[in-house]
Amino acid sequence: MVSKIIIMVLAMISLVFADTKSEVERLFQTASSGEIRFTKLVQPAKDSLAAMKDSAAKYLVSKLCTTDAREAQTLTEVYRGIGKAATAYLIAALDTDNKYQLRSASRCLAEVKDSTAVDALLKAATNSDYTVRAEALAAVGKSGGGATTAKRLEPFFNDSIYSVRKSCVYGLGNLKSLASLDLLLRALADSHFGVRLTAYDALVSFDSLAREKVAALLDTVTVAPVTGLAIRLAGQLRIHKVETKIASYLTDSNPLLRGWAVWSWGRLRGRAAAARLDELQKRESDLFVKSLLIDTRAYIDTLTSHE
């Protein structure tokens, strides 16, 4: 009798699991459908999967090796909805040689934002495939962990592939460790625009914490493109202590530096910059600088008197 009950319970459990699995399959098919006719079904299917939490997270792992872009995107969105309940399954999924799975799992972990995944992601970031390294590092940056994680992320900036360096720089921007500022300033001179400009955005995200270092950079930098970025940062971060330096660039012979100095001058001085800008406008002949003068003058006009 007891054995019969056990068998019945087991049978019911397997039926429930089978049902859950087929339900996940059915919902995933709908959720990853790209056709416009089924648009209204897509979001509810994604929401249902996310609401299933652990049970969906478990079964969807088998989909992580997909080569289909739409399916990969759907997984990212569903795992974002599931949240940290998915972390253990996704970490386990990183234990593979399949690069599609490694990339998808990293992308999903980036959405889950769980610092307990950092170790596994950093291990994935040593993969021989640079696309895996880039995804894993971007996920590390989004997973948090502050200065400790940032310190472990920094060595990856030596990668020869720009997209890996870009992910590293992006992660450092997210983690906001003061110790990373020197590396981010160095990244402003990277050989790839994606790294340079991501470093710029990362420094902007540090806000007031980056002011000292950027001000120091302005005193030492000699390469025009990096100087241009440093001038822009001075305005963007409102580094008032470099106003004199920026003022000197307002008459620089290089229109790139002169133009961005105008832009920053307006942001630093606000309405107080108007007179100088008007004066500059009278004798400026370079079209780029003239355009930024007009643009900055218009920006100033939008400011209220106390800004």
Partner 1 sequence: MSYRIVLSIGVFIILAFGGSVTAGDYHFPIDTINHVLNYIDIDTGDIAFRTDYVDRDSFRLKIIDELTQHPLRIPDYLKKRGDFLKDTTISVSQKYDSLEQTLGRQHRLSLLGNWQIPSEKIYPAARKAGGIVGEFADRLLKTHVGMSFAANIPLTEGLSGAESAFVADSFLTFLREEEKDINRPLEELDSLQKLGDSLAIRFKTVGPKISIANILDASRQLVSDYQQLADWLALNKKALRQIPDSLLRKYFPSFETECGSIVVGGKGNNRYEGDYAIIIDFGGDDEYYLSNKPGQRFQIIIDMAGDDHYIAQSDHCFGAGYLGCSILDDWGGDDTYMAKNYSLGCGIFGTGILVDRAGDDTYIGNIACQAASSFGVGMLLDYGGLDSYSAALYSQGFAFIMGSSALVDYSGNDRYAVGWKYGDILRYEDHYVSLSQGFGYGLRPYFSGGVGLLVDGEGNDLYNSDIFGQGASYWWSLGGLIDYSGNDQYISYQYAQGNGTHLSLGALIDISGDDLYNSKGVSQGCGHDLAFGLLLDCAGNDQYNAFDLSQAAGSANGVGMLIDLKGDDAYMARVKGNTHGYGNPRREYGSIGLLLDLSGQDFYRGYGADDSYWVTQSKWGIGADLNSVKPDTAKAKPSGK
**Which residues would be at the binding site for partner 1 (CB under 8 A)?**
29-30, 33-38, 41, 67-69, 131, 134, 138, 141, 163, 166-167, 170, 189-198, 200-201, 223, 225-226, 228-229, 256, 259, 287-288, 290-292, 294-295
Question: What is the closest distance, in whole angstroms, from the C-beta atom of residue 131 to partner 1 in the complex?
Answer: 7
Question: What is the closest distance, in whole angstroms, from the C-beta atom of residue 35 to partner 1 in the complex?
Answer: 5
Using CA atoms, how far residue 94 sits from 67, 109, 220, in Å, is 16, 10, 44
Q: Which residue, 85 or 139, has its beta carbon nearer to partner 1?
A: 139
Question: What is the closest distance, in whole angstroms, from the C-beta atom of residue 294 to partner 1 in the complex?
Answer: 7
Tokens at residue 290, please?
């003239």
Question: What is the closest distance, in whole angstroms, from the C-beta atom of residue 200 to partner 1 in the complex?
Answer: 8
Q: Which residue, 137 or 239, has its beta carbon nearer to partner 1?
A: 137
Question: What is the closest distance, in whole angstroms, from the C-beta atom of residue 5 to partner 1 in the complex?
Answer: 38
Tokens at residue 91, please?
């970490």
Question: What is the closest distance, in whole angstroms, from the C-beta atom of residue 219 to partner 1 in the complex?
Answer: 20
Q: Which residue, 282 or 306, has its beta carbon nearer to partner 1?
A: 282
Q: Which residue, 119 or 288, has its beta carbon nearer to partner 1?
A: 288
Question: What is the closest distance, in whole angstroms, from the C-beta atom of residue 21 to partner 1 in the complex?
Answer: 17
Place of tokens 């959720």: 31
List, in order, residues 6 or more apart from 119 with CB less than 8 Å away. none
Q: Which residue, 114 or 135, has its beta carbon nearer to partner 1?
A: 135
Question: What is the closest distance, in whole angstroms, from the C-beta atom of residue 70 to partner 1 in the complex?
Answer: 9
Q: Which residue, 83 or 225, has its beta carbon nearer to partner 1?
A: 225
Residue 207: count of CB within 10 angstroms of its CB:
12
List, in order, residues 6 or more apart from 115 with CB less than 8 Å away. 143, 144, 145, 149
Q: Which residue, 78 or 292, has its beta carbon nearer to partner 1?
A: 292
Q: Which residue, 177 or 296, has its beta carbon nearer to partner 1?
A: 296
Place of tokens 């832009």: 263
